[in-house]
A and B are shown apart, each in its own frame.
Chain A
């Protein structure tokens, strides 16, 4: 570990850190952190969506209160695993069961990345439509309404007509929508958006014109708060439905049900446990729920508050909770 660090690491910064360590401990700055904990900064990754920024900043602030040095690093959601495996990055606060499972499994299989347990938030992902579409297709939100051809046509565009157009997530998200359409015999064509930003750009565009749209939406996110709409209710998900064709409505096909609701996990470098045992416990203890998070995301994205202000308010309002996480 140590020899690897010497070469692997920021030799320069470590040198300064070592010099300062003596000074800092005299000043009592690291007094609160456990004696065996390293004084190196814990690197938390920031991605490009608000909810994640809030979660990460809350964790970071809590760790700071416990006397740890914290550094935020901007990193791509999936590319970050390269850094988490090598120990260049330490903690990623939101890894969604629904979109990140595969990458996370591959990383934990190396033994260098550890799952720090659920955040308490549940990812919801499903087909979604704006409420103004309800009158054009009265049977909704029940999925069987989509089988009606008039209803599907209401969701169509020139390219897909007479089939309806369903805008799925990026190919990399998986989601099995092509299979679902097949299995449930829906008269829809699945178009894949390339990124999350493209997905919401299309929604914004359609919503402004009150135009038909059916797309993949997930929560916690600002979109369900900003746009009025509803999730399609598919037959409930079960692991058997995905794995066993005989289960579910269509006896010959798997994926004849809705998408799973998934945990949002905390993951990180496996070395955190030994290097910062106290912080490790605090990170494992962190939980927050969907409603709280939805409220904070709305405050930032729609009411224009800064992430730091919202996090600051949460910290003062929930002192009991977070002080429990860092109790030794």
Chain B
């Protein structure tokens, strides 16, 4: 925040990128004013340090009261608000029941323990076979083997039944998320005012931790898989909408002109011209929805969705690290299979479809026929040979106590070393930084943020950053917010320090990059609980363990965006650099990194967002920040308290996001990229 910008970043350098050695006077003045207030202001202006209690806004109480009204009294005349939400969840229950009967429960008559199974669910052989067929159709033999392998992993490690429950809810949530996201995206693309209206809502949906709105979701939509689907939708839809808006806007003018020339109506224009033209980018959105839905698996299992998330939680409660890790990797396997399949679908769909040939129905749809034959065949065979229907238990593998023993071995032999590292880190970095942030005056920080907003983005940004930080102070969350900033800030810095170099090294080496990609996909989808508990064993509860969990999660975007940025640099420029006699180091620092800077900035932005989204998880190892506040509110079913803390987290995220994006635009202008 307070780092002085390089000279050319000064606002006057806007139009003239090469102004040279002009000092950023405005920044120097602002920083000085801030430091003076911080060091000498306390005796004079007490209320600039501690927000006056009398002016605290009891927003939490208001929200709780509004929620109560919504639940008990709100009515549209014919039916009440709760009845409406219950109706929605009843509608959602239909596709979920269908998916669950196919994959896990079978077609049932009746409910509960007295239900009778009419038809068994798909056998494991059939599901693996279908995944392979889909893989073969979309991406050939390699993909078929990958998809089959991922599903086989589930069966071999005894995760099948839980994994199918999880898959059923993903199969409902992901298409819905894609569909709704696309609809909102199209609407926002068509009507500019709508985009302006929903952008802040999208920001909030992505940055408020799920725990904060879990309680109202449960009250409104009932307890069970459908509530979990709705919570997943709230969390996973926004990226789809954003990508849809961007993708539609990026459709080349020639295509729209063509559409107008051939006389498309508005509706045809949207669905027949624009959406197909943008489908490649739209598939990226779909991929994000799938990944984010899988991120929700653990939380969904806490509200009745069951499945792999429940297995992870239960295993870690008995400290069975092996079982937790196996269930965790089952989630990763599902994620990789679904991700690679959806990426292949994106490639396939963006290629022109071959000319339809006149052949018999069988020959035209070989995959459909093979799939149907597989399903019917294995189902019938399953009645005769039970091993085909349910994976035989005797063939299941398990790592057993291996992982617990590994952790125990490290613990016994290296605990003292680890403890020394941890203490050095805590005493020299973490605690001083925490104290420093805690001592800053809220008024000074707010004013400084407003100044930074003004310099980087103008008066509107200044008003936004000031208003958001005032919101945090006025709702009485300042102290906890500072702890949040401290934990996330340090973790984001560490994640960048680790991630950016890895990204740079991996970017230019294709083989390494493909392995790094697998590693970061794993980090992103493996539930952090799986490594949080071993970390507690080695580092005890507290901020350090929390930091490890946050860094492990937030390092993924730092690596990904750095590598993508560098890989995207035009090879001709590098050739030109070589021709001019640059050394490799000069090519890296003067060409690659410089041109990749906007992507790297975006990566840092995402690193901060990821770090903030881990806050609630770190509350589980005893931090005392806004995440803990949200968690406490959840356990007390206090809607207002949770949402206010959640909104404060969102406020921090939005301030960071806006300032960094504004900085990135600055940097782009300076480098002449725009």
- Interface residue ranges, A against B (CB under 8 Å): 4, 7-13, 16-17, 19-21, 23-24, 29-30, 39-43, 48-50, 60, 64, 68-71, 73-76, 78-83, 85-86, 88-89, 102-103, 106-107, 157-159, 167, 170-172, 191-198, 200-202, 204-205, 208-209, 211, 222, 301
7 pairs of A and B residues whose beta carbons are closest in the complex: A41-B112, A83-B223, A69-B112, A82-B218, A69-B114, A205-B537, A20-B110
List A contacts of B622 (CB < 8 A). Answer: 170-171, 191-194, 198
- The answer on a CB contact under 8 Å between A78 and B635 is yes
Closest B residue to A50 by CB, please name it: B318
- The answer on a CB contact under 8 Å between B111 and A16 is yes
- The answer on a CB contact under 8 Å between B111 and A49 is no
Question: Is B219 part of the contact surface with A, judged by Cβ < 8 Å?
Answer: yes
- The answer on a CB contact under 8 Å between B317 and A42 is no
Q: How far is the CA of A222 from the CA of B541 in the complex (A)?
A: 21
- The answer on a CB contact under 8 Å between A301 and B218 is no
Contact with A along B599-610 (1 / 0, CB 8 A): 000000000000
- The answer on a CB contact under 8 Å between B317 and A197 is yes
A8-B222, A49-B317, A198-B536 are known contacts. Are A171 and B628 too (CB-CB below 8 A)?
yes
Q: How far is the CA of A208 from the CA of B219 in the complex (A)?
A: 44
List B contacts of A200 (CB < 8 A). Answer: 317, 319
Closest A residue to B312 by CB, please name it: A48
Q: How far is the CA of A239 from the CA of B475 in the complex (A)?
A: 35
- The answer on a CB contact under 8 Å between A12 and B94 is yes
Which listed residue, A41, A86, A205, touches B114 by the CB 8 Å rule? A41
List A contacts of B472 (CB < 8 A). Answer: none
A to B CB contacts below 8 Å, 29 in the list:
A7-B90, A9-B86, A16-B109, A16-B111, A20-B109, A24-B116, A30-B114, A40-B112, A41-B114, A42-B112, A48-B313, A48-B314, A69-B111, A69-B113, A71-B111, A82-B215, A86-B219, A88-B222, A107-B637, A171-B628, A192-B622, A197-B529, A197-B620, A198-B622, A200-B319, A201-B534, A202-B537, A204-B537, A301-B318
A76-B302, A76-B303 are known contacts. Are A171 and B541 too (CB-CB below 8 A)?
no
CB-CB contacts below 8 Å: B416-445 with A? 419, 423, 426
Contact with A along B98-121 (1 / 0, CB 8 A): 000000000011111111100000
- The answer on a CB contact under 8 Å between A17 and B110 is yes
Q: How far is the CA of A72 from the CA of B219 in the complex (A)?
A: 20
Closest B residue to A70 by CB, please name it: B113
- The answer on a CB contact under 8 Å between A106 and B114 is no
Interface centre among B90, B110, B113, B303 (most CB of A within 10 A): B110
List A contacts of B302 (CB < 8 A). Answer: 75-76, 79
List B contacts of A196 (CB < 8 A). Answer: 317
Smallest beta-carbon distance A319→chain B, Å: 19
Question: Is B533 part of the contact surface with A, judged by Cβ < 8 Å?
Answer: yes
- The answer on a CB contact under 8 Å between A208 and B412 is yes
A69-B113, A75-B304, A159-B423 are known contacts. Are A194 and B541 too (CB-CB below 8 A)?
yes
List A contacts of B318 (CB < 8 A). Answer: 50, 222, 301
CB-CB contacts below 8 Å: B377-415 with A? 408, 411-412, 415
- The answer on a CB contact under 8 Å between A198 and B620 is yes
List A contacts of B634 (CB < 8 A). Answer: 78-79
List A contacts of B93 (CB < 8 A). Answer: 10-13
Q: How far is the CA of A103 from the CA of B536 in the complex (A)?
A: 28
A48-B314, A76-B303 are known contacts. Are A172 and B635 too (CB-CB below 8 A)?
yes
With A7-B87, A48-B314, A78-B635 known, 14 other A-B pairs at CB within 8 A are A8-B82, A8-B86, A68-B114, A73-B224, A73-B304, A78-B637, A86-B219, A88-B224, A172-B635, A194-B618, A194-B631, A195-B620, A198-B621, A209-B415
List A contacts of B313 (CB < 8 A). Answer: 48
Interface centre among B306, B318, B631, B632 (most CB of A within 10 A): B318
Which listed residue, B314, B415, B542, touches A191 by the CB 8 Å rule? B542
Q: Could you count the A-B residue pairs with CB atoms below 8 Å apart for me: how many are there? A: 204
List A contacts of B317 (CB < 8 A). Answer: 48-49, 196-197, 200
A24-B110, A191-B541, A209-B411 are known contacts. Are A74 and B223 too (CB-CB below 8 A)?
no
Question: Is B79 part of the contact surface with A, judged by Cβ < 8 Å?
Answer: yes
CB-CB contacts below 8 Å: B285-312 with A? 301-306, 310
List A contacts of B218 (CB < 8 A). Answer: 79, 82-83
List A contacts of B83 (CB < 8 A). Answer: 4, 7-8
Q: How far is the CA of A29 from the CA of B219 in the complex (A)?
A: 34
CB-CB contacts below 8 Å: B522-554 with A? 529, 532-534, 536-538, 540-542
Which listed residue, A13, A69, A167, A191, touches B97 by the CB 8 Å rule? A13
Question: Is B61 part of the contact surface with A, judged by Cβ < 8 Å?
Answer: no
Question: Is B647 part of the contact surface with A, judged by Cβ < 8 Å?
Answer: no
Contact with A along B69-96 (1 / 0, CB 8 A): 0000000000100110011001001100
List B contacts of A7 (CB < 8 A). Answer: 79, 83, 86-87, 90
- The answer on a CB contact under 8 Å between A86 and B112 is no
List B contacts of A159 (CB < 8 A). Answer: 423, 426, 542
Q: How far is the CA of A89 from the CA of B223 in the complex (A)?
A: 7
Contact with A along B213-231 (1 / 0, CB 8 A): 0110011001110000000
Q: How far is the CA of A208 from the CA of B313 in the complex (A)?
A: 23
List B contacts of A86 (CB < 8 A). Answer: 219, 222-223
- The answer on a CB contact under 8 Å between B90 and A48 is no
Smallest beta-carbon distance A276→chain B, Å: 12
Closest B residue to A203 by CB, please name it: B319
CB-CB contacts below 8 Å: B588-603 with A? none
Smallest beta-carbon distance B373→chain A, Å: 29
Q: How far is the CA of A286 from the CA of B329 in the complex (A)?
A: 39
List A contacts of B109 (CB < 8 A). Answer: 16, 19-20, 23
Question: Is B338 part of the contact surface with A, judged by Cβ < 8 Å?
Answer: no
Q: How far is the CA of A192 from the CA of B628 in the complex (A)?
A: 11
A7-B86, A13-B111, A41-B111 are known contacts. Are A194 and B219 too (CB-CB below 8 A)?
no
Question: Is B233 part of the contact surface with A, judged by Cβ < 8 Å?
Answer: no
Closest B residue to A78 by CB, please name it: B635
CB-CB contacts below 8 Å: B108-166 with A? 108-116
Closest A residue to B628 by CB, please name it: A171
List A contacts of B86 (CB < 8 A). Answer: 7-9
A82-B215, A88-B224 are known contacts. Are A197 and B304 too (CB-CB below 8 A)?
no
List A contacts of B186 (CB < 8 A). Answer: none
- The answer on a CB contact under 8 Å between B97 and A208 is no
- The answer on a CB contact under 8 Å between A158 and B111 is no
A83-B304, A194-B619 are known contacts. Are A158 and B423 too (CB-CB below 8 A)?
yes
List B contacts of A19 (CB < 8 A). Answer: 109
- The answer on a CB contact under 8 Å between B219 and A201 is no
- The answer on a CB contact under 8 Å between A12 and B223 is no
Smallest beta-carbon distance A11→chain B, Å: 5
- The answer on a CB contact under 8 Å between A205 and B415 is yes
Question: Is B636 part of the contact surface with A, judged by Cβ < 8 Å?
Answer: yes
- The answer on a CB contact under 8 Å between A17 and B319 is no
Question: Is B316 part of the contact surface with A, judged by Cβ < 8 Å?
Answer: yes
- The answer on a CB contact under 8 Å between A79 and B214 is yes
List A contacts of B113 (CB < 8 A). Answer: 41, 60, 64, 68-71
Question: Is B281 part of the contact surface with A, judged by Cβ < 8 Å?
Answer: no
Q: How far is the CA of A171 from the CA of B537 in the complex (A)?
A: 20
Closest B residue to A210 by CB, please name it: B412
Which listed residue, A69, A88, A157, A205, touches B110 by the CB 8 Å rule? A69
A198-B622, A202-B541 are known contacts. Are A69 and B115 too (CB-CB below 8 A)?
yes
Question: Is B206 part of the contact surface with A, judged by Cβ < 8 Å?
Answer: no
Question: Is B465 part of the contact surface with A, judged by Cβ < 8 Å?
Answer: no
Closest A residue to B544 by CB, please name it: A159
Closest B residue to A73 by CB, please name it: B304
List B contacts of A10 (CB < 8 A). Answer: 90, 93
Q: How far is the CA of A88 from the CA of B227 in the complex (A)?
A: 11
- The answer on a CB contact under 8 Å between B541 and A17 is no
Smallest beta-carbon distance B349→chain A, Å: 33
List A contacts of B426 (CB < 8 A). Answer: 159
- The answer on a CB contact under 8 Å between B635 and A201 is no
- The answer on a CB contact under 8 Å between A208 and B411 is yes
Smallest beta-carbon distance A162→chain B, Å: 16
Question: Is B623 part of the contact surface with A, judged by Cβ < 8 Å?
Answer: yes
